[in-house]
Amino acid sequence: MEKYFYKLHGLGNDMIVIDDRDNRIAPYDMPRAARKLCNRRTGIGGDCLLVAKDTDAADIAMLVYNSDGTQAEMCGNGIRCFARVVYESGIIPRDEFTVDTLAGVKRPQLLIKDGEVKSVRVDMGVPKFLTGDIPMDCGTEEFIMQPIASADREFIATAVNSGIPQLIVFTDDVRSLDLEKYGLPLEHHPYFPEKTNVSFVEVEDRRTLVLRTWERGCGVTLCCGTGATAAAAACIRSGLTDRVVSVRVPLGALRIEWDGESNIYMSGPAEKVFEGRVDI
């Protein structure tokens, strides 16, 4: 079975987008398709596979499969890339629409210049700090600026759900930190029954964060949109930054805006790499 695909990236976090509104791929074949297509040696290569589906809950639905075949509730960089494909392929020829995800309905807004999407701003909903919403089993109602151990170090961290479970780990050596050594054990920490993304953050100043992420089901990625959203929310909640934050990653920065109470907004690029046909 052949499918048309689009390969994009959001600040280096790369993904494959396919349209399966015709339901030609059986649900039980999605994990296998994700593993095959995301393989960097024998496939297209990507951190995740995004699948467009019809839905009654929004204008369109987005399913997210990590490179290991596991399904995720949301992808922050992914929804920006997904929105660009949906617009430019003519599926929904509007600069604002709704996307149904397993983390709820999201609303991307596209900045378009000369017919091309330059950036996307996404309403990411309200960050959730209650441990029952993350989910997290640690015996407390919230986990904010609390100690947590990984390998040979103890860190201070905050847990938040920004579409998927996120552990925001504060450090003053984020650029040199061994992400596999410390991120992998935290992804599988017994506190997290559904595992978690782990974003290591260094507060540079009140308007700037530096972020590196170990993603659940992927490993090290160059950028994590839900992680950047969660990191900004964690810092704003604790008074460490202002309410508009630039989250720097190796290939650029995301802009996060939050008033501390209502919905949080993420803005950033969605770059097209190539497109073509592939045998699913």
Give the active site residues.
75, 224
Round to whole Å and give the CA distance between 44 and 5. 9
Identify which of 67, 45, 78, 79 has the alpha carbon closest to the alpha carbon of residue 217.
67
5 phi, psi to nearest 5 deg:
-130, 160
Round to whole Å and give the CA distance between 192 and 167. 10
Identify which of 147, 201, 157, 159 has the alpha carbon closest to the alpha carbon of residue 177.
201
In which residue are the tokens 């290591």 written?
200
Distance of CA 68 to the CA centre of its chain: 15
Identify which of 24, 28, 29 has the alpha carbon closest to the alpha carbon of residue 52.
24
